Amino acid sequence: MSVPSARIATSAVAVATATTTATTATTTPEPASGVAAMPSAPAADNCLIIAGQVAGPCEQRATPAGIAISRFLLDHVSAQIEAGWPREVRCRIPVMACGEPLARIAGRLSVGARVRVRGFVGRANPREGEYRLVLHAARIDVLDSATIESSVSASED
């Protein structure tokens, strides 16, 4: 398939276990059969995959429109290579799971459960001037078999 020159600019996302994404400019790849590909500019990419442990109890609520929302904190610890040097990476990131399937799974996570969360980052409160980030989950994979069933994504019902 030929790609017009105006549509050249997308990104390749390189993800290692428990790392954030790296973005590089490439040409638009051919979509897999039956899958539509949407061209995007590297500046518009927003994808995060991170693994860690649930750091506290999950808060559950519903929006005025009745959408289920669960929030929890994720502690991440890993060893990474940066500029050729090993370093230990530690962070705590708030996760928000919206919609019944994801909120249900998040609400059943116990403190200390190991999970991998895939989603996008956004402002914690878009109405305020503050720029604290939150990970909006699109998929939660439970890595502890004893915690609950394996995973769910936003597209599952």
The CATH class of 48-153 is mainly beta
Quick one: CA torsion of 111, 54, 131, 88, rounded to 10 degrees?
130
pLDDT of residue 38: 46
Kindly tell me if the per-residue pLDDT of 123 is higher than 80.
Answer: yes
Mean pLDDT, rounded, of the chain: 76
Q: Tell me the helix, strand and coil percentages in the chain, rounded to 5.
A: 10, 45, 45
Kindly tell me if the per-residue pLDDT of 1 is higher than 50.
Answer: no
Using a pLDDT cut of 70, give the percent of the chain over it: 63
Question: Among 39-43, 63-67, 134-138, 143-147, where is mean pLDDT lowest?
Answer: 39-43
Tell me which of 84 and 157 has the higher pLDDT.
Answer: 84
pLDDT digits (tens, 9 = 90+) for 19-62: 344 333 334 444 444 444 445 556 679 999 999 999 999 999 99
Using a pLDDT cut of 90, give the percent of the chain over it: 57
- Alpha-carbon Rg for the chain, nearest whole angstrom, is 17
Question: Residue ranges per domain, the chain?
Answer: 6-29+37-44, 48-153
Nearest to 101 by CA among 51, 57, 148: 148
Are the beta carbons of 9 and 41 closer than 8 angstroms?
A: yes
Q: Report the distance separating Cα 52 and Cα 10, nearest Å.
A: 29
Q: Report the distance separating Cα 115 and Cα 52, nearest Å.
A: 6
pLDDT of residue 59: 95
pLDDT of residue 127: 76
Neighbouring C-alpha atoms within 13 Å toward the C-beta of 8:
7
pLDDT of residue 145: 64
Quick one: CA torsion of 29, 30, 31, 34, rounded to 10 degrees?
180
Question: Among 69-73, 85-89, 130-134, where is mean pLDDT lowest?
Answer: 130-134
Tokens of 45: 């990419």
Q: Report the distance separating Cα 54 and Cα 94, nearest Å.
A: 10
